[in-house]
Every structure is written in C-alpha cells, then in structure tokens.
Structure 1
Amino acid sequence: MTTHYISAEHLSIERIGEIIKNGEKLELSDDAKQRIRRCRNYLDKKIASNGAPVYGVTTGFGSLCNVSIGKDQLSQLQINLIKSHACGVGERVPNSIVKIMLLLKIQSLSYGYSGCKLDTVQRLVQFFNNDVYPVVYRQGSLGASGDLVPLAHLCLPLIGMGEVEYQGKVISGEELCRKKRWKPIELASKEGLALLNGTQNMSAFAVWSLLEAQRLSDWADKIAAMSLDAFDGRIEPFMHAVHAVRPHLGQIETAKRMREMLEGSQILNNIKAHVQDPYSFRCVPQVHGAVKDTIRYVRSVIDIEINSATDNPTVCPDDDLIISAGNFHGEPIALPIDFLSIAMSELADISERRIYRLVSGTRGLPSFLVANPGVNSGFMITQYTAASCVSLNKSLAMPSSVDSIPSCQDQEDLVSMGANAAIKLYKVIYNTERVLAIELFNAAQALDFRLPLKSSPAICQIHDDFRRVVPFILNDELMYPHIEQAIQFLRR
C-alpha cells in the first residue's frame, strides 16, 4: 500500500485525486511532526508567561471574545466549542468529500501555525487510514469563521462524540473508540478553535468538483465532436486561423482538440448543403474554451487555499506572535466556486441545445432519432430531461457569495456563504454529467443514421465502446436504464 507523507511541500489537486482514488495511506513526515510540536510548545509557554488575553485560547469565542476563561477551564472551553457548534442539518456530506476534508484538515494543521497537539493530528490521520467517515451534514456553514458547523461534526469523534460511518455502519464516536481501543483526545487550549476554524469543507467540495469538472470538460469535447459529425456539421469554425486572431487559451485548445477528434471523418468531408451551423456547434471552441479557462483559474485559487493555514488565531513562533485575524474567511474561494458553477452550468446549457438540434428532424436525421416516428416517440423526452437539468442548474448557478447574513451578535458582520456555493456546485456538477450523458446517448443514435458514411476513427472508437453498454434504439423501450448506463460510461 502506497503511503503519502504529509509535509510542507506543495499538495496539488491532482495529487489529492490520486491519493483518494488509489486508497493511499497518510503519514506525518518528521518535519510535520516537528512543526506541530514546536508550535504547541510555543503556545503553552506563551500562555504560562503572558497574562494578556488571547482570543479563543484564554477567552470565549465570537462576540464573547472579551470574556476571560480561567486556566482550569481551558480544556472544557474547547470541548464545549465543538459540542455547541455541531448544529448541522440536511443531507450528509458524501464520504468521498469527507475523506478529502480529513486530508485537507490534516494538511493545514501540519504547517505548525495552529497550535494543535501531535496526538490530535495523528488521530485524524488514523480516521483517514482506517476509512472512518465522520457524519457531517451539508447545511450550517456560513463560510465565515471557516466552516464551523461541518468541521465541528468532522471533529466530534475525536472526543468520543458524534457519529461516524465505519465498515458500512453508522455508529457513535464513543462506540468507535471502543472498537478501535482509542482513548478520546483530551483537547488542550486553542485546539477546538484550530479544528473548527478553517475552510476545509468548502475546499473539499471545490477539490472534488474541480476533479469532476476536468473530467466532464474532457468528455464535453469528445461528445460535441460526435454530435457535430452526427449533425453533419462543418469543420471551418475550428480552423486555427479563426482562433489565432482571438487567442484565448481555452478556445485555441478546444478548436485544436475538435480538429484532432474529427480527423479522417467521411461525414465531415462530404459535400455540405448548408453554409453555417447553429451556435451550439459553431461556437464550441468559444464556450467550451471559456469553461476550460474558468476551471484553470478556479484551480489556481483552490490550489493556494489547500496549501494554507486557515484557522484563527494564527500562531507564528518565528515571529513570536499570536494574531487574531481572518484567514478562515471564505471569500477568496466563494467567488471562484460560484464562477465554476456558472461555467459548468453553461457546459450543460450548450450540450442541451445540441441535443435539441439532433432530435429536431433536420439535416437528414429522422424526427426524434427513431426510424418510425409517430408510433415511436424515440428520443423526444430525453431532451425534456436534459432541459429540466439545465433549468435547475440556472437556479443553482445564482451566486451565493453575493449574499451575507450577519451572525454572532454582528461580530461576524460579513460572511461569504461559500459553503452554500460549494453545495450548489456539487449539484451542478451532477446535473451537467447527466446532460452530457444524454447528449452522448443521442449523438451515438444519430451517428448510426449516417451509415454507411463513417465518422473519424477517434469518434468511431468512442461510439463502438458506448455501443457495448447502450444499444441502438430501434423501437420505443425503457430509456432511463440506458441514460444511467450512459452516465456510468462517462465515469468509466
């Protein structure tokens, strides 16, 4: 089993994808252990020698920042923080994202600016390595003082509370400790705040979404190429000379990819009766390319975020400072997360328009892509389903980050709502996948009506692979199993 060593070295989004996909284990590097110990020792000495109040360490939280806490209550203060902040509601955060949350929280604490004890971070590593998934609920975070509510649920099992999913069953944190013969962590000063402050919930959703968005962007080009050929579209809008005079990187990449995908197509080289294609075909480089550029930008922001310390206060031993500031605030990533929702929504939007064209009975294709329309409805309602997903995406793509509801007696008077943006992005990703799968279902059907003319070798290969799991539809039959198979095909 491969082991990934947690360190101060750069952690890429792609590497996170590899760790999760390959089931790699985590281990703290010696440097990470040293950083954690050094910061904790500094904090303990600072508390012992300094009578001045330190926010969240020797004081209450939020608007209770002026309430001093006695040394004999510092541990209870942190336990109470986690218990009181576990106010999540709604559906559970999927285990795949909880796993990323654990990794990102471990990474952030390992830098040695948070003041956590080593055994606390080690227990989070044990959760990760033993496939212990704390039960975290989606709703509750304002993306302001970090993801307080979801991170409280993530960390409750550290102290033997809350719930986890372990070996396929939901059990209490107390039962988990008994099963694993673990003692609940005894929290020291500041630890509860270090665990709950941070952007790991938003960031985990963003990392998952970026990995999925990259996959779907790749598929969107392949499917669009198949649809273009099935629709008897033209290649001229993809020629490099067009894009050289408007050289957006994503646009150039997409046009080049479409040319490569379609090279060798008999259909493409056939004489065309039309001089121009609709935007949903002609403007694939401009639309898909803009999505690529958005993904690239959002990745650059999230890349910085997941390689940062985002709790509060920030403990800086080298500078002899403990600073209460705002690194937990979600605004830097809330805006890009909203941006990615808009981009992925547009990827579904243009896909649905291509579906509509394919079923419309034009360019020599039969109405609704069935040989005997009338007695058969064919692919008529697949477009309805795609339109439903696209319409919902339009609602979900309304930015969350433009909203703010002050909290904590107005101490937290501007919040990012980044967690809501992340939840919506998660839904948009799934809807976009469904629409692209439906387009592939339609495009493959339409391509068969072009025989004996064949598409390019690259497109024919995708078509042939797809036909191994989804058949040509001769007469009406149940369609929803085929749509599900198309979705699974995109995932394989």
Structure 2
Amino acid sequence: MIRLTGNTLTLDDVHQVVFSGQKVQLDLQAKVNIEKNRQTVETFLKEKKIMYGINTGFGKLSNILIDEVDLEQLQINLLHSHACGVGEPFSEEVSRAMLLLRANALACGFSGVRPALIERMLDLLNAGIHPVIPAQGSLGASGDLAPLAHLALPLIGKGEVFYQGKRIASQNALQQANLQPIKLKPKEGLALINGTQAMTAVGVLSYLEMEKMLYQSELIAALSFEGLQGIIDAFEPAIHHVRGHKEQIEVAARMCKILQGSKLTTKQAELRVQDAYSLRCIPQVLGACWQTLHYAKEKLEIEINAVTDNPIIFTDEKKILSGGNFHGEPIAFAMDFLKLGIAEVANISERRIERLVNPQLNDLPAFLSPNPGLQSGAMILQYSAASLVSENKTLAHPASVDSIPSSANQEDHVSMGTTAARHAYMMIQNTRNVLAIELICALQACEYRGVANMAKTTRKFYKRARNIIPSMIKDRIFAEDIARAAHWLKEADDSYVSERWENTK
C-alpha cells in the first residue's frame, strides 16, 4: 500500500501503481493538514474575502464577483466548460498516472480541498475506474486545463471512463463500484484542474520506457557490433575517462562487459584501423542520451511532489496567494530535451542498420538475404527505419519555443509542455520500432558470423530473441517480425538490467 503525503512519491511508486495495480491511500497526517487547509478557505469565505476562482470568475473573468449562492455551481460550470479536449484519449496507464499525481498534488495541503475529494480520487484509482481523457487540447499553462477537467468529470458523475475493459458512462461505473458522485465545494473544481499532471504523467511514463529502451539499445548495439566485427579498442576505459562524462564512461564499461569474451570483435588494425562512428562512438552518443534522461528524471521527481495549484492556500500564514506554479515550462524543457536523446538513439541505430544491410559497407550477404536477387532480405527494413527516424526529427522540434496567448491575453505566455510530452512518447514508440529492426538485422548478421563465437551475454540475448524472431531463411512479411520484436522489447522482463549492470550504473 502506498500512502500519499504530497511530498514523498517516487517514480518507482508511480510505476507500481500504474503497471502493477498497487493500492493507494491518503496518509493520516496529510489528511489532518489538508483539513486544516480547508478550514482556512472556509474562514475566508465567512469573512467574505475576495479569492480568485473561489468567489470570482476565472481567467479574464477574475474581476467578476460571484454570489454566495452560486459558489458550488461555479465549480461545476468550470469543469463543464473546460472539458474541451479533442482527439484520441490517453491510454489507461496515463489516466491512472494522472489520477495518482493530481491526488498527490492536492495531498500537499495547499489547495484548499477537503480530504474527501482526494479520497474519492483514490477510490477511482483503486477500483480501476479510469477517466477518458482526450490527449489534445492543453496549452500547458494555467495547468493542463482541458485534460484535467476530463479527469475530474467522473468525480461528479459526468463524462466517460474505462472500466473493466469497456468505455462507459461514469455514472454507470460508479454505480457498479458502489461509489457516489461527489458534490464540489468552493475552490475544489479549480483545484482539480490547475496543475501539470497531464504533461507530467506522460513524462513519467516516457521516462520509464526510455530508461528500459536505452539499456536495450546497448544490448542491440552490441549484437550489431559483433555482426560487423567492430573494433573493441574504442571502448577502452582510458579513452572515456580522459573526457570525463560519467554517462559515457558507464556506457563504455557496459559495452565492454556485454562483449567480454566475444570472438567476433576485432582489435585495432586487425581488419581495419577505425570503425565508422555508429560503432566507434556508441558510448559518446548513448552516454549523451542518458544525460537527457537524467535531466528529465530530476525535473519529474520534483514535479510529482510539487504544488502546482492557483491560488495557493497557506494555512499557518493565513494567506491565499495567486501565482503561476501551474506553468509547465520546467517539464516542457525537460521533455523537449529528452526528445533529443530519443531521436539520437534511433538515429545512430538506423546508421548501424544501414551498415548491416549495405553490401558496400560489409562482407555479409547483400541485405542479409539468404538468396540475394531472388529474395530482397532486409532491404526495406532499412527503409522503414529511415522513415521513422525522419518522423522523429519533425517531432523533435521543441514545443516549448511556441506560445499562443489565451483568455483574452490574460494568459499571454504558455509552455506547450503537454505537446512536448506527447511528442516524446510518440518518438519512443518510433524508436523502439527502429531498435526492433536493428535487432532483426543484427541477429541475422551474428548468425552468419557464427553464434558460437558470440560473447556469453550477447549469445544469451540472441537465443532469447530468436524465440521471437525466426532466422531469415526466406523473404516473409517482415512487418510481423517488427511488431513482435517491438512488443517483446516493450513488455520484456527487465530483470537483466539489474543482473548485468548493477556495478556500472
């Protein structure tokens, strides 16, 4: 059971909740703090203090005071009017992550909500009731308004949810789970939608997938290295220590460990003096990709425990302050930076694919074909990889450099952080397919070279992969191979990570 305190959630906790169905409950001390914070709002209401979004309109309408009798309706109207998302919905995993992260943000005790509201969010999470949230429509400032409005609708019995494998009306799911819609109190509607939880949820899932994929990219690169009889001297520790980048040093160390004992690697000047960059510079390129991931991790770990509401209620100081913590710029930058790393994993992978299939660049059968000419072999596999790499380049354009004013120019600078996160996630899927293609080609090249001559680690990986991807003995519908390989890479047990690289992380 994970207890939400508002400031102790970890990325591993998110993984456990999203993918393993770990149950969540509100921490008792956090509940006390949240209740005190709510009482501050109630006191201000009794004192008829003017408070943004509590007894005023929103955005450019913030100068309009709302009658006391309409304060609860104001919150309902807010959710109705802001639920303007479009496009295909986020996955259920993203929806789960958003529920968890928004509940944790409210659990910080600065948002002026009742504990009952947070507990009802956790009821949905624990019951597997996942709001249907259209993926497009957020500017990434003033919070992820549209996505979070859709997230909040089921709490009041509105909108749709995914429940038990079906997309159904929220009211029906609540009834089946013996839950009642909640009645919003002043401030609570606004508290639900002011935040960065859409971009952060997608960002966290992108981080988790990217970390696993980077480890896999090293294993696959090692297979290609053997298939192309790469020069192992390039991974000598001395080369990398004199430059000093920690991640580069670690990648080089892992490559040496993976390839230890291989009879397919060569020494300097044995076959050639130097390798092409896509082999020789694996530590330099993938090390830099790890740097983008580490930067994203640092910002995500802060954001999942951050107060991103507006206004913020300070209990001890008896203050209610308007600010801009909902602005997604930190996550927008992190996701745009991560996109560069994702793009380069695919970019260098595609170059190795080309070296594996191009008969002008190796001594393997042309396009790894068992019968070149009659059978095209892996020729068009490289085309598909090139297409995905090119698409990644368009998605890698930084979303955060764009801004479109909104709310009659009151909200005149926005982050586009959710677009950055969505594009990062799309690029990860593209890159996994590129790696799947490299894997198919590298397996075949190693087979031609002699599996018995492979390193112990790569040979074990080869045998596991061959259970998914058969040997290329004749032309077949390779789309099926790519799909199987990509699915295997995404779903594969990643225990080998801790087994093989524990001392070089």
What is the TM-score of this pair, normalised by structure 1? 0.97
Structure 1 unaligned blocks of 5 or more: none
Of residues 86, 89, 93 in structure 2, which corresponds to 1:89? 86
Matches within 5 A, 1:84-483: 84-269=81-266, 272-361=270-359, 362-451=361-450, 454-483=453-482
Aligned-partner residue type, residue 139 of structure 1: Q
Q: Tell me if structure 1 keeps the 8 A contact 2:229–2:266.
A: no
Deviation at 1:269, TM superposition (A): 4.6
Question: Deviations for 1:329-387, whole angstroms, at most 9, x for unmatched residues?
Answer: 00111011111111101110100000010001233211101231000100001111111
Q: Tell me if structure 1 keeps the 8 A contact 2:451–2:459.
A: no
Give the whole-Å Cα distance in 1 for the aligned partners of 2:127 and 2:149. 20
Aligned-partner residue type, residue 18 of structure 2: I
Q: Tell me if structure 2 keeps the 8 A contact 1:267–1:453.
A: no
Deviation at 1:183, TM superposition (A): 2.5
1:76 counterpart = 2:73 = yes
Aligned-partner residue type, residue 79 of structure 2: I
Deviation at 1:22, TM superposition (A): 2.1
Question: Deviations for 1:19-49, whole angstroms, at most 9, x for unmatched residues?
Answer: 3232111111111211221111111012112
Aligned-partner residue type, residue 402 of structure 1: V
Q: Tell me if structure 2 keeps the 8 A contact 1:351–1:435.
A: yes
Which moved further from structure 2: 445-454 or 378-387? 445-454
Aligned-partner residue type, residue 465 of structure 1: R
Q: Tell me if structure 2 keeps the 8 A contact 1:405–1:415.
A: yes
Give the whole-Å Cα distance in 2 for the aligned partners of 1:335 and 1:9. 22
SS in 2 for 1:319: coil
Give the whole-Å Cα distance in 2 for the aligned partners of 1:482 and 1:469. 8
Question: Deviations for 1:382-412, whole angstroms, at most 9, x for unmatched residues?
Answer: 1111111111100000010000000000000
Deviation at 1:453, TM superposition (A): 5.8
Which moved further from structure 2: 133-142 or 12-21? 12-21
SS in 1 for 2:320: strand
Of residues 21, 24, 48 in structure 1, which corresponds to 2:22? 24
Give the whole-Å Cα distance in 2 for the aligned partners of 1:149 and 1:452. 54
Question: Deviations for 1:422-474, whole angstroms, at most 9, x for unmatched residues?
Answer: 11111001001111111111100100010276110000000011111211111
Q: Which residue number in structure 1 is paired with residue 500 of structure 2?
A: none
Structure 2 unaligned blocks of 5 or more: 493-505
Of residues 30, 39, 42 in structure 1, which corresponds to 2:40? 42
**Structure 1 residues 269 and 280 mapped into 2: Cα distance closer, same or farther (>3 Å)?**
closer
Task: Give aligned pairs, total.
Answer: 489
**Structure 1 residues 452 and 144 mapped into 2: Cα distance closer, same or farther (>3 Å)?**
closer
Q: Tell me if structure 2 keeps the 8 A contact 1:232–1:363.
A: no
Identity within the alignment, %: 45
SS in 2 for 1:170: strand
SS in 2 for 1:129: helix
Aligned-partner residue type, residue 392 of structure 1: E
Deviation at 1:92, TM superposition (A): 0.6
Deviation at 1:16, TM superposition (A): 1.3
SS in 1 for 2:110: coil
Give the whole-Å Cα distance in 1 for the aligned partners of 2:419 and 2:312. 26
Give the whole-Å Cα distance in 1 for the aligned partners of 2:356 and 2:305. 45
Q: Tell me if structure 1 keeps the 8 A contact 2:19–2:93.
A: no
Aligned-partner residue type, residue 16 of structure 2: E
SS in 2 for 1:449: helix
What is the TM-score of this pair, normalised by structure 2? 0.95
Q: Which residue number in structure 2 is paired with residue 484 of structure 1?
A: 483
Q: Tell me if structure 1 keeps the 8 A contact 2:132–2:162.
A: yes
Question: Deviations for 1:305-334, whole angstroms, at most 9, x for unmatched residues?
Answer: 111111110111012110010000001110
